Amino acid sequence: MTVQRQQKWYWVCQALGWTFYLCIGLLMSFLFFNKQPGMFAVQFVGTGIFLGLTHLQRHLNHKYNWIHLPVGKLAVLILAYNTVASIICQLLVCLFMLAMGMFTLGEFSFGMLMMYSANGLVMLTFWSTIYFAFQAIKRWKEKEVEAWKLQLSLKESELQAIRSQLNPHFLFNSLNNIRSLVLEDQTKAREMITRLSAMMRYVIGYNQNNLVPVSEELAFLENYVALEKIHFEDKLTFTANVAPDVQTAAIPPLGIQLLVENAIKHGIGTQAKGGQIQLSLHRLNGHLQIQVENTGTLKPSSAPAGIGLERLLERVAHSMEKPGSFMLTQTSENGVTATLTLPYKEYENLHR
């Protein structure tokens, strides 16, 4: 709701509420004070003062942000304001009645002033309760909208991160390799085009919950490795050992592919004779453990995780509501192992 519309509805509610209060006051004056001149005018004056005092309270709330105070302090502040405002209202009404000659100073009763002030306090407190309850609901809705927008923005950022995760060099190399295959082996060229098309479809249409089952990620990985093998020819050997019970586990899309891509780029790509990559997935102590071992050596200056892996771990924490971990170690003289540990969650259980 826009500010102008809120302002409009505020004055509509003020007019309706205090008009109703005025009508009740006029009815009471007619029934009980019909013989006392000026009581109808008193009702108009009193209602007008109440309207002004409530509007002043709204102004002070906007100026000093009363709504942001703790509930206890806000309640005490409202009670104090309404008490003082009610007494002021009754004093002004009394002055009006004195000016109208409805009574004299000798007839003034402090007890009657307190009684009418108490009645005014009830009315003002009733107004404050409705007003601040509405403000609290509005704030809650605004925070909900802000949280939704933040979540949507985060999802869009994650989508962009996922879609940009495929190395552009890989795409160009794949297209060039497929172009060469067209002249040498048209059947294999068509197969590679199909695989590349399936990869693009997977990246563009990934699950909106930022998670996919391991089986889908492995199907994507199979296409990725097949295309990389065209480039490396016999220099790349890939094997996978996947436990049957982890096929339905949830995983962020392109999570395994990122580990394999790093193994190819920093491991196999640096070896003159190439090497091999071994992928293993298994369940361990309530976690999904993904290990990618490749031929190569770990440089002392190597960072434990690049930007891609940092984003992956951020996606894990957001999508799976629990953090993951990554470790890169030299496990043998010519072997490096990357270990990604994720919270184990069944994909189907997240989408029922």
Q: Model pTM?
A: 0.54
CA pair distance 291, 108, nearest whole angstrom: 91
- What is the average per-residue pLDDT within 282-308? 79
Measured at the CA of 211, the angle between CA 205 and CA 217, to 5 degrees, comes to: 70
User: pLDDT band at residue 350, thresholds of 50, 70 and 90?
Assistant: low
**Quick check: 125 pLDDT over 90?**
yes
Q: Is 278 helix (H, G, I), strand (E, B) or coil?
A: strand
239 burial (CB, 10 Å; 0-12 / 13-18 / 19+) is exposed
Q: Do the beta carbons of residue 43 and residue 26 sit within 8 Å?
A: yes
What pLDDT score does 131 carry?
92
What pLDDT score does 56 carry?
93
Task: Return the DSSP state at 209.
Answer: T
What pLDDT score does 172 carry?
72
**pLDDT tens digits, 265-277:** 888 888 878 889 9
315 burial (CB, 10 Å; 0-12 / 13-18 / 19+) is buried
Task: Return the DSSP state at 104.
Answer: -
Query: Among 174, 173, 172, which Cα is nearest to 195's?
Result: 174
Which two structure tokens, joined as six digits, stand for 87?
């007494």
207 burial (CB, 10 Å; 0-12 / 13-18 / 19+) is middle
- What is the average per-residue pLDDT within 245-257? 89
What pLDDT score does 162 carry?
54
Letter string b/e over residues 274-313, b meaning 16 or more CB atoms within 10 A of that residue's CB? bbbbbbbbeeeeebbbbbbbbbbbbeeeeeebeebbebbb
Q: Which residue has the tokens 């949280």?
A: 147
CA pair distance 130, 226, nearest whole angstrom: 67
Chain Cα centroid distance, residue 184: 53
**Quick check: 340 pLDDT over 90?**
yes
| β-strands 236-242, 275-284 pairing | parallel
| Sheet strands (E) in the chain | 212-213, 236-242, 250-251, 275-284, 287-295, 325-332, 335-343
- What is the average per-residue pLDDT within 333-338? 88
What pLDDT score does 189 carry?
85
**pLDDT tens digits, 3-48:** 788 888 889 999 999 999 899 988 888 887 766 667 888 889 999 9
For the ranges 66-75, 163-172, 314-323, the one whose mean pLDDT is highest: 66-75
User: Dihedral angle at the C-alpha atoms of 341, 347, 350, 352, nearest 10 degrees?
Assistant: -170
Measured at the CA of 226, the angle between CA 222 and CA 227, to 5 degrees, comes to: 120
What pLDDT score does 310 carry?
80
**Quick check: 253 pLDDT over 70?**
yes
Q: Do the beta carbons of residue 35 and residue 100 sit within 8 Å?
A: no
**pLDDT tens digits, 254-263:** 889 889 988 8
**Quick check: 206 pLDDT over 70?**
no
**Quick check: 289 pLDDT over 90?**
yes
Chain Cα centroid distance, residue 324: 21
**Quick check: 338 pLDDT over 80?**
yes
What pLDDT score does 158 carry?
58
**pLDDT tens digits, 90-103:** 899 888 888 887 77
